[in-house]
Amino acid sequence: MTGRIIMHVDMDAFYASVELRRRPDLRGTPVIVGGYPRGVVLSATYEARAFGVRSGMASSQAMRLAPNATFLSPDFDAYSSVSAGIGAVFRSITSVVEAASIDEAYLDVTGSRRMFGTPVEIGEHVRAVVADEQQISCSVGIGPTKFVAKVASKQAKPDGLVEVLPDGVAAFLHPLPVEEMWGVGVKTAERLHNLGISTVGDLAHTPRGGLRRTFGPHAGGMLRELAWGRDGRRVVVTEPERSIGSQETFGADSDDGHVVRRELLRMADKTAGRMRKAGLVGRTVSLSVRFADFAELTRSITLSSPTAVTDEIYAAALGLYERLALDRPRVRRVGVRVEGLVPAEKACVQPTLIEPEQGWREADRAVDAAVGRFGPGAVQRAVLTRRISRPPSPTWQPRGGLAGEGEADPAVPPGPQIREIRNGV
């Protein structure tokens, strides 16, 4: 193969595959990752897909299609950790890596042949290392352009590899239905069918004028170019992540302010934990609220100094929520995001005169250490593990701040109160 050699690597049923590492007893059965009974399908095993379950489908519909499927709640921290490990494998092959999403990436391996061999050998090496280190499978497409590599990886699924040589692009693409083209959705495919275009080959031989009249000068021309495998896009090294966030769709719409505040705290806790794990801090806190009628409001605030402290992020998100003029009180989903991230070691955090020697920052570190040693759920805020009679706030915490320490006690002064658990952690 001469010219550029582009590889597209796509994890197979990524979220579901990560979950099966922890639940090997579910292998070979239909498994769906997503919100239940509300929410959407985020990922599904191929056994579930055989029933017609697809990503983005409403969970209620998926349950009707596959009534015996096992629903699992998503664990985005686990997915991010596995994704980071896979990214490290990619960068061991080439420095030119473009992350298209959490579970797929483009690699320019043109310069990697001298060290790792032929493109197929490189692809099989990637698949073997990912399977060995992460215990999940991936599919690899190799071609002279990003578009061809993307289509090839789709044809390789699941757990396969397809290489398309430059002189074999037309022979590979043209027999495929237009639906197999990246970027061609249901509506575009319908319009193509209305023009009598069923295959990529039909599209490639359709006069430009007809396509431009139907799809516009840019989209019409691009479709025809892609049908011949022509794609001038280069693999662009991905910029570092600039924001981290978490969101939760409620099991039922709620107009209970206590419930909403509790979930805001849960999302702030997840977001802050991911930031600390990545060694990042940020100043801009963003709140998103989706209501029962699917209308959505987003608000943000910039703090005086960057932070990754759960209570500081929660306080900002709670303040934004309290200031909302809610004419749609029933809430369907809440989300908390922190933007403008920078490495913690490069951030300038301004202490206050009244700041205690040991504060919430140290409390978060102790909790992170316990969770890192004993696993998720080893330490949790009591307010997130039980129903309480009053809403959480940054200045009021359950006794001890940890699960199992009793009911809320407003007499406890604000500040971290860490319970000693297991070997002094």
Catalytic positions = 104
- Can you say which residues are annotated as belonging to the binding site for Mg(2+)? 10, 103
- β-bridge mates for residue 105, sequence order: 9, 99
Q: Which two tokens stand for residue 377?
A: 């759920």
Q: Which two tokens stand for residue 76?
A: 């985005």
> 166, 33 in Cβ contact below 8 A?
no
> Three-class SS of residue 138?
strand
> Three-class SS of residue 306?
strand
DSSP string, 40-80: BEEEE-HHHHTTT--TTSBHHHHHHH-TTPEEE---HHHHH
Measuring CA to CA, which residue among 357, 326, 206 is closest to residue 254?
326
> 105, 99 in Cβ contact below 8 A?
yes
Position 233: which residue type?
A: R
Q: How far is it, in rounded angstroms, from Cα 66 to Cα 60?
A: 10
Q: How far is it, in rounded angstroms, from Cα 20 to Cα 28?
A: 10
Measuring CA to CA, which residue among 368, 370, 367, 408 is closest to residue 390?
408
Per-residue buried b or exposed e for 364-388, using 16+ beta carbons within 10 Å of the residue's own CB: bebbeebbeeeeeebbbbbbeeeee
> Cβ neighbours of residue 295 under 8 Å, at least 6 residues apart?
328
> 89, 129 in Cβ contact below 8 A?
yes
Strands 70-72 and 31-34: parallel
- Can you say which residues are annotated as belonging to the binding site? 10, 103
